[in-house]
Amino acid sequence: MTASVFSSTTAPAPIGLLLDVDGPVASPVTRTVRPEIIDALIALAGAGWPVIFNTGRSDEFIRAEVLKPMLAAGIPAGMTFHAICEKGATWFSFTSEGATEVHVDETLALPQEFGDEVRRLVEEQFADHMFFDETKRAMVSIEQRVDVGNQDYLDRQGPFDAAVLDIMRHFDMGVCRLAHHLPDSDDSVDYRVDPTIISTDIESVRVGKDLGAERALRLIDGDIPHTWRTVGDSRTDYAMADYLHEHGYSVAHVDVRPADGVPEKPYPVLIEGELTNDDAGAAFLLRCAETAVSRA
C-alpha cells in the first residue's frame, strides 16, 4: 500500500477514471459534491481522461448531485460523462445538453411486492433513523437520515437488516448478508443484503462494481485507455480494479477509507495519507487534474 499516485514512468494521459460516488466524490455526511471536485472532473475530461461514475446510487441522485453542479460549472461542448448506477443495473450518459435516456436491466430488478413490504417496514418501525429510497429502479435501498448521527443509525441498521431477511424468507427469496446465507426453497441464493456505513442495499447477486466496470468499458466511444485508476471507500469497490486487472488493464485502486482493511491485491493500492472520504477524493482528483492538464 502506498500514498503515491503517479511516478516518473506513468504513461501520459489519457488514464481512465472509474469512480464510486459516496465517499470519494460525494460527502457521506452532506451527500453533496464540493465545487473543487466538480472542477477537477471537468478538467480531467477536458484533458481526454474518460470519467465514469460507478455507484450504487440512483440515476436521479447522480443527476441532482453530480450533473446539476457540473452543468452550473459549465461542461464544454463535446464532453461526455458516463454514469453506471445501482451497481450496474442502470446507466446513462450526460453532456452539456443534459442526460440521455436511462437504461435499465429489468432482469436485475427486485419484485415490486417485496419493495412495498420494505417501504412499509421502514415507515412503521425505522422512520426515525432511515428513509426508503424511492429513486431506485432495480434494487431496494434505505438510507440514513441526514439529521441522524451515524452511530445512532448503525445501531438500528442491524435490526433493520434482520427484519428484511425475515421478509425475504416470507417471499422465498434466497439471500446472503455478508457471510450469512439463507437459500430459498430451491437451495438458491439470488439476492444480497449489502450494508454500508449510511445505507442498506437489497439487490440481485448479479450486480456489483465489477458489472459496473464491464458496462463502463462498453460505453466508451473510441479507444479504451490501457491505464486506469479506480476510486472507492468500501471493500466491495475493489471489484472495479479486480475486473480491470483480470481483463489485462493496468490499474491501481485508490482507497479513501483504508482503515476498514486493505486486502492483498495483485495491483497497487493507493491512499491519501491520513485523509478519508471526499477529503481524500478531492486531493487525488485535484492532483490528477493538475497532472493531466500539464501533460495535455
**Residue 254 scores a pLDDT above 80:** yes
Residue 42: its H or E element: helix 35-46
Label residue 173 by pLDDT band (50, 70, 90): very high
Q: Show Cβ contacts of residue 177 under 8 Å, excluding neighbours closer than 6 positions.
A: 161, 165, 192, 193, 194, 195
Q: Show Cβ contacts of residue 265 under 8 Å, excluding neighbours closer than 6 positions.
A: 238, 241, 242, 245, 253
What pLDDT was estimated at residue 193?
Answer: 97
**Residue 233 scores a pLDDT above 80:** yes
What pLDDT was estimated at residue 11?
Answer: 44
Model pLDDT for residues 69-95, shown as the tens digit of each residue? 999 999 999 999 999 999 999 999 999
The one-letter code for the residue type at 57 is R
Residue identified by cell 460527502 is 27
Q: The pTM is what? A: 0.91
**Residue 5 scores a pLDDT above 70:** no
**Residue 296 scores a pLDDT above 90:** no
What's the mean per-residue pLDDT of the chain? 94
**CB of 167 within 8 A of CB of 114?**
yes
Model pLDDT for residues 184-210, shown as the tens digit of each residue? 999 999 999 999 999 999 999 999 999
Could you tell me how many residues make up the chain? 296
